[in-house]
Structure 1
Amino acid sequence: MTNRRHFIAGMLASGLVPAPTWADAGGPAYLAAAGLRDGSFVLCGIDAALEVVFEIPLPGRGHAAAAHPSKPQAVAFARRPGNFALVIDCMSGRVKATLHAPEGRHFYGHGAFSADGSLLYTTENDYANGIGRIGVWDVALGYVRVDEFASGGVGPHDIKRLPGGDTLVVANGGIDTHPDSGRAKLNIPTMRPNLTYINDRRILEQIELPYDMHRNSIRHLAVGSDGRVAFGMQWQGDGDAPALVGLHQQGETPLLLDGAEDMHGYIGSIALSDDGSEIAVTSPRAGLVQVFDAATASYTRSIALTDVCGVAAAPEDFVVTSGTGIVQRLSGRLNPEKPLMWDNHLVRL
């Protein structure tokens, strides 16, 4: 007699049972890596009510995650410089595959899926040659590495896909590092960060900041439904930091936004509101969230929150996380701290 597991597998294969979706994994609205009080690490799913719906163990500190566009699968990346990324079935909590950076490479903690979910793209450091690469992994083959191409610069950190196609935007931070030197920055005097748009391995467009801002490392990205890209930076120079937030549309000149509060030269995460009208950025060093009006490029308000870093859009609002265990809507009352030390990023599904 056919057992239940084989029966269900046969039904799935025949298409008579719908393929699992994110709703089958508890309906998370966000993913975030966190540390536990006992020193272990997890990847969490957080629902729209900001309750944790699952915790899946990680072998080390996480940074960000990439969520598959349809399957309840997430790729959890190690904190830079890391050599592993785990593909996790968020229904069962099982690790489906482990991605290892090729010899002479390390991951930068971010990735993005193609529009149809068939490919995963990862930002990587070719540290022997001091250049950035984008790894390509085939999902149907079990996340097998099948290709790679140039990132268009040095130190590619974040990567996002623009809506309506498979054009990628890469934040080439400009900073050269090598595992032998830990997290030391090896080329600060000569760094040249850029924002690079790539489609089918071909660079479509690159933007650089004015030379007097060449030490402003472009690190994190948010993409609006209209293809606008908001980017957050981290100042590597001396003295007061220049503008740390930018907004760019392909074919146009980037717009830089100045905040009224000192962010200590460091933007940890960035998000665009659902309607594209506002940009929110965080600085764990300053313990601040700043919000800008995207239409006028003007600062509107700030909120103090200790060790805040993760930020993502929510309906008519933003959600933020902190290393103290806070997860809350920006406009809401302070929620009780959870026994979780949230890491850098909050990824919206």
Structure 2
Amino acid sequence: MEINRRQFIAGLASSGIFTSALLPLAKISNASPATQSSPPAFIAARKDKSGHYSAAVLDDRGSILFSERLNDRGHATTISPNKKLAVVFARRPGRFALVLDLLNLKKRTAFTPPEGHHFFGHGFFSNDGKLLYATENDYENERGIIGIYDAADNFKRVSQIETYGIGPHEALLMSDGTTIAVANGGILTHPDYPRQKLNISTMEPSISYLDARDGKLLSRARLPREFYQLSLRHMAESGDGTLWIGGQYEGSPTDSLSLVASQRPGKQILPISDPKTYIGMNHYIGSVAVNASGTLVATSAPRGNAIALWNSADGTLAKTIQRQDAGGVAGFGESFVISDGSGNLWQEERAIHQNSDYAWDNHLTSL
């Protein structure tokens, strides 16, 4: 019987969050049938039936090459350009980031944001791999921040820039190498009220474009006022430079609207497809990914048990894959690999791997 990921992962672990970048993560056995001759292909956070969280590095068959215990629930992972390092971020309002050495299959270090900040679960490297950028909540000042960390100096924090919005969730470096796109979800939160949304009636979701060199705001796009409760959260850039965005709707459950949009810098945010396309997706897009050529975009709807594949050139729906509680999706060549809450990995409709002792979390990252 399939187990719903949100039932399986419900609640945060009671163990403490990091208070120092030097505090070690709990250890977990690295035993695996795979060998180092199988190169890493995917990374994802997970939870086992004993309630332990971990980050797992997998080969292209889904076999575990290495895993490391997390003190709390993880969210998304980013990979360095040379594919030597991976950084796994805590789920909001977590305060840890775990750095994995993908060459030696071991933990390298862990670090935290400054006091008064927490991570939103996403980040990215500069093109030269020297800097790591992480979305953060400066919750006392009610503003979004991107923290900048020196990857060559044990991920010491060196600077920060504003996102010009509240609740920056995912941010990415666009293909020009200098423009940062940020999905400001618009939802005000505070760790004293860990999962509460404090400003639903006054949300202002937006997409900000920043200059990575100096943090200057290049442009910002907002949704039409009637869609102000569509929190913009996850993104991917398609092959033609268009940003694809997945939303999480905080309005009435009976409302009908598009949950996926596209946008180019300086232009309006445009809905993808008719609202009827999203019937049954329960107002929630969990992940957005593109294939290697950028011609296909995948969006997951784990609450609706569906993955939608879109043609990036014209925004048409290529196909929908029905998959129970499938949240993670990652490009894998010209296709996609999908992870779900029952421990399964799929290459679209084809099963790759299954281990029901674990539930995969929201995101899957491919190397």
TM-score with structure 2 setting the length: 0.84
Stretch of structure 1 that moved more, 112-121 or 273-282: 273-282
Alpha-carbon contact 1:50-1:328 (below 8 Å) kept: no
CA apart distance, 1:85: 1.0
Q: 1:57 to 1:227 in 2, by over 3 A?
A: same
CA apart distance, 1:338: 4.7
Alpha-carbon contact 1:268-1:309 (below 8 Å) kept: yes
Q: 1:26 to 1:292 in 2, by over 3 A?
A: same
- Distance, in Å, in 1 between the alignment partners of 2:353 and 2:176 is 36
5+ residue gaps, structure 1: 1-22
CA apart distance, 1:93: 4.5
CA apart distance, 1:48: 2.6
Stretch of structure 1 that moved more, 327-336 or 58-67: 327-336
**1:65 lines up with 2:77 in the alignment:** yes
**1:252 lines up with 2:264 in the alignment:** no
Higher relative contact order (CA 8 A, sep 6+): 2
1:228 is aligned with what amino acid?
A: T
2:266 is aligned with what amino acid?
A: G
1:180 is paired with a residue whose SS is coil
Stretch of structure 1 that moved more, 51-60 or 79-88: 51-60
- Distance, in Å, in 2 between the alignment partners of 1:47 and 1:95 is 17
1:325 maps to what in 2? 343
2:220 is aligned with what amino acid?
A: Q
Superposition RMSD on alpha carbons, in Å?
Answer: 1.9
Alpha-carbon contact 1:132-1:151 (below 8 Å) kept: yes
1:210 maps to what in 2? 224
Q: 1:241 to 1:234 in 2, by over 3 A?
A: farther
Q: 1:94 to 1:166 in 2, by over 3 A?
A: same
CA apart distance, 1:83: 1.0
Alpha-carbon contact 1:241-1:264 (below 8 Å) kept: no
CA apart distance, 1:26: 4.4
- Distance, in Å, in 2 between the alignment partners of 1:283 and 1:25 is 34
Alpha-carbon contact 2:245-2:288 (below 8 Å) kept: yes
- Distance, in Å, in 1 between the alignment partners of 2:140 and 2:358 is 37
Alpha-carbon contact 2:258-2:278 (below 8 Å) kept: no
* 4+ aligned runs moved over 6 Å, structure 1: none
Superposition pairs for residues 15-26 of structure 1, below 5 Å? 26=38
Alpha-carbon contact 1:321-1:342 (below 8 Å) kept: yes
Stretch of structure 1 that moved more, 172-181 or 42-51: 42-51
5+ residue gaps, structure 2: 1-34
2:112 maps to what in 1? 100
- Distance, in Å, in 1 between the alignment partners of 2:122 and 2:151 is 16
2:314 to 281, 290, 296: 296
- Distance, in Å, in 1 between the alignment partners of 2:59 and 2:279 is 31
CA apart distance, 1:348: 1.9
CA apart distance, 1:24: 6.8
Q: 1:260 to 1:151 in 2, by over 3 A?
A: closer
**1:223 lines up with 2:255 in the alignment:** no
CA apart distance, 1:94: 4.0
2:141 maps to what in 1? 129
1:247 is paired with a residue whose SS is strand
**1:312 lines up with 2:330 in the alignment:** yes
2:263 is aligned with what amino acid?
A: H
- Distance, in Å, in 2 between the alignment partners of 1:343 and 1:119 is 26
1:326 is aligned with what amino acid?
A: N
CA apart distance, 1:73: 1.4
Q: 1:26 to 1:42 in 2, by over 3 A?
A: farther
- Distance, in Å, in 2 between the alignment partners of 1:335 and 1:265 is 29
- Distance, in Å, in 2 between the alignment partners of 1:25 and 1:343 is 26
2:132 to 100, 120, 138: 120
1:235 maps to what in 2? 249
1:6 maps to what in 2? none
- Distance, in Å, in 2 between the alignment partners of 1:90 and 1:297 is 36
1:35-92 CA distance string (max 9 Å, x none):
1222222211222333332222222211011111115211111111101111222344
2:170 maps to what in 1? 158
Stretch of structure 1 that moved more, 107-116 or 163-172: 163-172
1:17-41 CA distance string (max 9 Å, x none):
xxxxxx9784212211111222222
